[in-house]
């Protein structure tokens, strides 16, 4: 087999000079993309547990009407920290973990373009998260919700230092996010194995490329808003205070101009993961490769024109609302068609129900529910009724859990053998899947009804209106089921790492380059890379007689030759 | 206690429309639910069917490697596109019907959200009241919505959509209430510590009853008759109560807290948190932070007798 040399980063890899057995120091000082990826993932698990405990306390408080388990000021800190943590320190690090680990492997590179910057990105994220949590001992955590509306976020209404830590923590994490994205863009554009054209990149890599541009465009708006808020709070500026000539609603524009792209930032990479998982476990190529990329780009562009759908009830008028209703309805299309891309990928395939695939199949239904309830917010009058109620809470969890988290879990079970060299226990993993999916649906399905029945979100307690108590109790029970499942997951992972069965280097008969390495990959990923002539190089390598590129060539030569204008025009045109 | 209080109110889900505005939105919502359910059912059926039919069998050859199908892809984009265009125009029509431009119409009522109560002013009258908002049935009413401190949001599901109250801005909402009754709602924008207890009660009355209410409300406060209540009235003025609360017809003219001129005629207190009775009032006056932590009423150290007197006075402010 002809092989080609791997492009090396222009600088020597600093990690190669460090021996591999220095314990924790090795991890802290590492600039190896695989170790940094794993650290991102553990950071995410750590914060998942923390933010999970926060929300269990919240759900306990809401289990019965007129409950006095938590004081309102504690409750408000807990739900604020839950939301902020889950978005910025669970979803984002988990996505970056998989990205940092697998993008170089999938494009045949030995490391990220800027290995030191990669470590910097991780540690600033880590530091940002620590700073956010330091607020608990510095006088109180932020308490104005994860989107932290003005003027409630101003010193007059929230005088504990929590919101200052919110600004500082998110600014730090934001710097890490932006530097990581620059690193991904350069790595993907510049360090692919030379044979891999853009049109042969795995879809996960494509989605990361699109996503990184999305991040680069979205985060400045958040960072500006955070800096302005810090000025307001610390130096008595008044960007967001109406009394001083500022504008409360400006915060909402700046925040959601970041915030809505952010929603797609935590879902596009997930679409990438699923676009790897569905083909592998259906033993078919992705249905509509270029359509998946095209819809990803469409989402990224439209994402900047939909932010006002978070503000339909702020009284901007029907003209403005109409414009953003149109764009928000439109963005549903490239998001929705992907469901059918994956269904068509499964159709006619040979589906293997691994735990990874189970999460992918469950995602199809859960994400459809979340997507459809999302469309109801693009229909302005329905939004007027349902925004800021428990219906939103249900919707966003169907998207973030049924979408993002299911995707991360699918990716985890897909790639865990590669990353650890160990296989997690199949039986326990299936238990985890069913327990988690059941708990999730019990928790959040009923919240749609609560919203329609008039329960606003972010209330620390509620009156005993007909049905409210029962539905909230059901939701709390579901939350504890999910918590039990997460406990089981941590047990499964730790057990697999210690005494799991040794994993093969290609346990799923997969398609992409990361599976050509050992499990786990050596410090230097590749010596040689197999030829890349299609989107599924490893499959081509394993089944040379049925290679994708051969089929494409056949299809090409079988097509009638193009009309040659030098010949007689037999089509009569 | 709070449980029984709410038994006599109208159910207020978004499907219990009691105004043409809410009915229009309900209609659109039901259309949406039908379309969305159809899509969801399609996805569930396809997912289950495909998963079962194409499950891997032992020693199977690789299935046919299909990479796409242009016609199918066109349908995948075309059908949802047609659906969203339909809903876009349905939604524009509903928006314009529910929330038309207010033109030169001046507001019939001005409601201001405070941390954590609603202040209602009735233009053209001298009436200022709080929390229990009386409105006439059958009249198209323009509400002006303001905020005194942070953002609040006015939402009574049975009467239609919500509207934010934003400091420095005037927002408007149209409502035409179909039938008399008490309609429950709540502040729907997180507004701080006591956001949960910023409930709304709209008391919709027939035009006759409403006129009567207006007349009673415009009158000054009831003058206390018995000694206990009279002592309470004196205390109210001499303590700092009067620097935050107004009781029309007396020297109490504070504007920070809710107007208490006809406090005794309200069924609930603390913005829908509990029944307005002497026991609850006594507890509240003894230690506000115990009852509603974070509320802006400070704790005054009153003697038991003083609390009894103040309670008696406030209860008589019908």
List all residues 6 or more positions away from A365 whose beta carbon is below 8 Å from its beta carbon. B40, B43, B44, B47
Q: A368 and chain B: CB distance < 8 Å anywhere?
A: yes
Q: Using omega within 30 degrees of 0 as the cis cutoff, is the peptide bond preceding B116 cis?
A: yes
**Which pLDDT score, from 0 to 100, does residue B4 have?**
44
pLDDT tier, A572 (very low <50, low <70, confident <90, very high otherwise): very low
Query: What is the DSSP annotation of B236-255?
Result: HHHSTHHHH-B-TTSS-B--
Residue of A nearest to B292 (CA): A72
Residues of A in contact with B88 (CB under 8 A): 325-326, 329
- Domains defined along chain B, listed by start: 12-46+71-216 (2.60.40.420), 227-315 (2.60.40.420)
- What are the two backbone dihedrals, phi and then psi, of residue A21, each rounded to the nearest 5 degrees? -125, 50
The answer to whether residue A368 sits within a structural domain is: yes
- Closest CA of chain A from B317, distance in Å: 26
pLDDT tier, A3 (very low <50, low <70, confident <90, very high otherwise): low
Contact B92 A325 (CB under 8 A): yes
- Closest CA of chain A from B252, distance in Å: 27
Can you give the pLDDT of all 318 residues of chain B as single tens digits? 344 444 455 668 999 999 999 999 999 999 999 999 999 999 999 999 999 999 988 767 788 888 888 888 889 899 999 999 999 999 999 999 999 999 999 999 999 999 999 999 999 999 999 999 999 999 999 999 999 999 999 999 999 999 999 999 999 999 999 999 999 999 999 999 999 999 999 999 999 999 999 999 998 888 888 999 999 999 999 888 999 999 998 999 998 999 999 999 999 999 999 999 999 999 999 999 999 999 999 988 899 999 999 999 999 998
Contact A365 B46 (CB under 8 A): no
**A118 burial class (0-12, 13-18, 19+ CB within 10 angstroms)?**
buried
Closest to A82 measured CA to CA, from A7, A34, A145, A9? A145
**Cα angle value A390/A391/A392 (rounded, 5°):** 85
Residues of B in contact with A353 (CB under 8 A): 51, 55
Q: B125 and chain A: CB distance < 8 Å anywhere?
A: no
**Which pLDDT score, from 0 to 100, does residue A573 have?**
37
Q: A470 and chain B: CB distance < 8 Å anywhere?
A: no
Nearest to A379 among B28, B160, B195 (CB): B28
Residues of A in contact with B168 (CB under 8 A): 242-243, 247-248
The answer to whether residue A221 sits within a structural domain is: yes
**How long is chain B?**
318
Q: How many domains does chain A have?
A: 1
| Comparison of pLDDT for A21 and A399, the residue scoring more | A399
Residues of A in contact with B25 (CB under 8 A): 381-382, 384-385
The answer to whether residue A327 sits within a structural domain is: yes
**B 136-165 residues inside an 8 A Cβ radius of A:** 145, 149-151, 153, 155, 157, 160-164
C-alpha to C-alpha distances, A487 to A370, A497, B3, B79, nearest whole angstrom: 25, 16, 37, 43
- What are the two backbone dihedrals, phi and then psi, of residue B100, each rounded to the nearest 5 degrees? -70, 165
A524-563: pLDDT as tens digits: 899 889 999 999 999 999 999 888 888 766 554 544 445 4
Contact A460 B64 (CB under 8 A): no
A429-488: pLDDT as tens digits: 999 999 999 999 999 999 999 999 999 999 999 999 989 999 999 999 999 999 999 999
**Which pLDDT score, from 0 to 100, does residue B8 have?**
53
Q: What is the mean pLDDT of residues A378-392?
A: 96
Is the pLDDT score of A503 beyond 60? yes
Q: What is the mean pLDDT of residues A287-301?
A: 95
| Comparison of pLDDT for A237 and A549, the residue scoring more | A237
pLDDT tier, A20 (very low <50, low <70, confident <90, very high otherwise): low
**Which pLDDT score, from 0 to 100, does residue B10 have?**
63
- What are the two backbone dihedrals, phi and then psi, of residue B92, each rounded to the nearest 5 degrees? -60, -45
**B 84-113 residues inside an 8 A Cβ radius of A:** 84, 87-88, 90-92, 94-96, 98-99, 101
Residue of A nearest to B24 (CA): A381
Contact B62 A380 (CB under 8 A): no
pLDDT above 70 covers a percentage of chain A that reads 92
Which residue in the block uniquely carries the two structure tokens 């500022």? Answer: A246
Contact A456 B188 (CB under 8 A): yes
The answer to whether residue A414 sits within a structural domain is: yes
Tokens, residue B77: 């984009």
Average pLDDT taken over every residue of chain A: 91
List all residues 6 or more positions away from A215 whose beta carbon is below 8 Å from its beta carbon. A177, A178, A181, A265
**Which pLDDT score, from 0 to 100, does residue A566 have?**
46
CATH assignment at residue A299: 1.20.210.10
The answer to whether residue A568 sits within a structural domain is: no
- What are the two backbone dihedrals, phi and then psi, of residue A516, each rounded to the nearest 5 degrees? -85, -10
Q: With DSSP H G I counted as helix, E B as strand and the rest as coil, what are the percentages for chain B, rounded to 5?
A: 40, 20, 40
**Which pLDDT score, from 0 to 100, does residue B9 have?**
59
Domain containing residue A376: 4-13+39-558
**Which pLDDT score, from 0 to 100, does residue A561 have?**
46
**Which pLDDT score, from 0 to 100, does residue B107 have?**
96
Residue of B nearest to A295 (CA): B77
**Which pLDDT score, from 0 to 100, does residue A32 have?**
92
Mutate to test the interface with A, among B6, B7, B11, B14 (most CBs of A within 10 A): B14
Query: What is the DSSP annotation of A331-361?
Result: HHHHHHHHHHHHHHHHTTS-B---HHHHHHH
Q: A369 and chain B: CB distance < 8 Å anywhere?
A: yes
Please report the number of interchain residue pairs, chain A to chain B, with beta-carbon separation below 8 angstroms.
278
Is the pLDDT score of A129 beyond 80? yes
Residue of A nearest to B187 (CA): A456
d(CA A317, CA A176): 38
**Which pLDDT score, from 0 to 100, does residue A567 have?**
46
Q: What is the mean pLDDT of residues A268-278?
A: 97
Closest to A371 measured CA to CA, from A340, A398, A343, A404? A398
- Assign residue B307 a region (left: φ > 0; alpha: ψ between -120 and 50; beta: otherwise): alpha
C-alpha to C-alpha distances, A115 to A127, A182, A525, A564, nearest whole angstrom: 18, 12, 14, 52
**Which pLDDT score, from 0 to 100, does residue A12 have?**
41
**Which pLDDT score, from 0 to 100, does residue A401 have?**
97
The answer to whether residue A27 sits within a structural domain is: no
- Closest CA of chain A from B38, distance in Å: 11
Residue of A nearest to B35 (CA): A372
The answer to whether residue A31 sits within a structural domain is: no
Contact B162 A384 (CB under 8 A): yes
Contact A546 B90 (CB under 8 A): no
**B 288-317 residues inside an 8 A Cβ radius of A:** 293-294
Mutate to test the interface with A, among B26, B88, B182, B283 (most CBs of A within 10 A): B88
C-alpha to C-alpha distances, A234 to A169, A249, A421, B177, nearest whole angstrom: 16, 20, 50, 47
Nearest to A365 among B47, B54, B67 (CB): B47
The answer to whether residue A401 sits within a structural domain is: yes
Contact B76 A368 (CB under 8 A): no
Residues of A in contact with B46 (CB under 8 A): 343
**Which pLDDT score, from 0 to 100, does residue B11 have?**
64
Mutate to test the interface with B, among A62, A463, A508 (most CBs of B within 10 A): A463
Cβ(A292)–Cβ(A203) under 8 Å?
yes
């Amino acid at each position: 087999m002809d092989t080609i040399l791997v492009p090396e980063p222009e600088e020597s890899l600093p990690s190669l000079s460090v021996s591999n057995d220095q314990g924790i120091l090795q991890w802290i000082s590492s600039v190896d993309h695989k170790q940094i990826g794993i650290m991102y993932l553990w950071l995410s698990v750590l914060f998942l547990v923390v933010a999970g405990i926060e929300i269990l306390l919240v759900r306990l408080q809401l289990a019965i009407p007129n409950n006095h388990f938590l004081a309102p000021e504690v409750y408000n800190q807990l739900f604020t920290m839950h939301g902020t943590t889950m978005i910025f320190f669970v979803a984002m690090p988990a996505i970056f973990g998989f990205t940092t680990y697998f993008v170089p492997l999938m494009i045949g590179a030995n490391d990220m373009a800027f290995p030191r910057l990669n470590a910097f990105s991780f540690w600033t994220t880590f530091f940002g998260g620590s700073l956010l949590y330091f607020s608990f001992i510095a006088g109180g955590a932020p308490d104005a919700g994860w989107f932290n509306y003005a003027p409630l976020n101003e010193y007059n209404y929230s005088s504990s230092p929590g919101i200052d830590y919110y600004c500082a923590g998110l600014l730090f994490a934001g710097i890490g996010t932006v530097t990581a994205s620059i690193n991904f863009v350069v790595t993907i554009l510049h360090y692919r194995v030379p044979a891999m054209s853009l049109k042969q990149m795995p879809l996960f890599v494509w989605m990361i490329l699109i996503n990184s541009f999305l991040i680069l465009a979205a985060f400045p708006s958040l960072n500006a808003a955070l800096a302005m808020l810090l000025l307001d709070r610390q130096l008595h500026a008044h960007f967001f205070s109406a009394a001083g000539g500022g504008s409360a609603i400006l915060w909402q524009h700046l925040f959601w101009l970041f915030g809505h792209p952010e929603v797609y930032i935590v879902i596009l990479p997930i679409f990438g993961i699923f676009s790897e998982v569905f083909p592998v476990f259906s033993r078919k190529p992705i249905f509509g490769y270029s359509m998946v990329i095209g819809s990803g780009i469409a989402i990224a562009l439209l994402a900047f024109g939909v932010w006002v759908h978070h503000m339909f009830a702020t009284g901007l008028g029907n003209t403005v609302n109409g414009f953003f209703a149109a764009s928000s309805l439109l963005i549903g299309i490239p998001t929705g068609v992907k469901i059918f891309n994956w269904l068509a990928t499964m159709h006619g395939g040979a589906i293997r129900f691994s735990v990874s695939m189970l999460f992918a199949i469950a995602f199809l239904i859960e994400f459809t529910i979340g997507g459809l309830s999302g469309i109801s917010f693009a229909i302005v009058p329905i939004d007027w009724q349902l925004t800021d109620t428990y219906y939103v809470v249900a919707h966003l969890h169907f998207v973030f859990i049924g979408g993002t988290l299911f995707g991360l879990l699918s990716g985890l079970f897909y790639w865990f053998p590669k990353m650890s060299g160990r296989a997690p226990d199949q039986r326990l993993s299936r238990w985890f899947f069913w327990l988690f999916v059941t708990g999730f649906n019990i928790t959040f399905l009923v919240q749609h009804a609560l919203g329609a029945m008039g329960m606003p979100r972010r209330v620390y307690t509620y009156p005993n209106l007909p049905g409210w108590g029962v539905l909230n109790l059901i939701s709390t029970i579901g939350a504890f089921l999910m918590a039990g499942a997460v406990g089981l997951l941590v047990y499964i992972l730790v057990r697999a790492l210690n005494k799991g069965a040794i994993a093969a280097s290609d346990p799923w008969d997969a398609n992409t380059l990361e599976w050509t390495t050992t499990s786990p990959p050596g410090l230097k990923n590749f010596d040689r890379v197999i030829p890349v002539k299609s989107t599924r190089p490893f499959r081509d390598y394993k089944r040379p007689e049925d290679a994708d590129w051969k089929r494409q060539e056949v299809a090409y030569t079988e097509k009638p030759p193009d009309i040659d204008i030098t010949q007689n025009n037999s089509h009569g045109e | 206690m709070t449980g029984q209080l709410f038994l006599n109110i109208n159910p207020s889900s978004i499907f219990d429309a009691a105004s043409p505005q809410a009915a229009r939105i309900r209609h659109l919502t039901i259309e949406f639910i039908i379309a969305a359910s159809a899509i969801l059912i399609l996805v569930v059926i396809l997912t289950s069917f495909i998963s079962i039919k194409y499950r891997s069998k032992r020693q199977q050859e690789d299935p046919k490697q299909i990479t796409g199908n242009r016609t199918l892809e066109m349908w995948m984009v075309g059908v949802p596109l047609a659906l969203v265009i339909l809903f876009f125009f349905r939604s524009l029509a509903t928006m314009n019907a529910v929330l038309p431009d207010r033109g030169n119409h001046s507001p019939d009522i001005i409601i201001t959200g405070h941390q954590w109560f609603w202040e209602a002013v009735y233009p053209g009258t001298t009436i200022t009241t709080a929390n229990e908002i009386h409105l006439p049935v059958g009249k198209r009413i323009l509400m002006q919505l303001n905020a005194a401190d942070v953002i609040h949001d006015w939402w009574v599901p049975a009467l239609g959509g919500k509207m934010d109250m934003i400091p420095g801005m005037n927002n408007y909402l149209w409502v035409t209430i179909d039938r008399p009754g008490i309609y429950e709602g709540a502040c729907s924008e997180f507004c701080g510590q006591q956001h949960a207890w910023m409930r709304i009660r709209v008391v919709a009355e027939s035009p006759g009853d409403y006129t009567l209410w207006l007349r009673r409300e415009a009158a000054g406060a009831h003058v206390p008759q018995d000694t206990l209540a009279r002592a309470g009235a004196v205390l109210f003025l001499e303590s700092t109560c009067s620097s935050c609360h107004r009781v029309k017809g007396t020297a109490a003219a504070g504007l920070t807290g809710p107007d208490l001129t006809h406090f005794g005629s309200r069924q609930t207190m603390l913005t829908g948190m509990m029944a307005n009775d002497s026991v609850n009032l006594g507890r509240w006056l003894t230690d506000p932070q115990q009852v509603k932590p974070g509320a802006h009423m400070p704790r005054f150290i009153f003697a038991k007798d003083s609390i009894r007197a103040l309670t008696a006075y406030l209860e008589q402010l019908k």
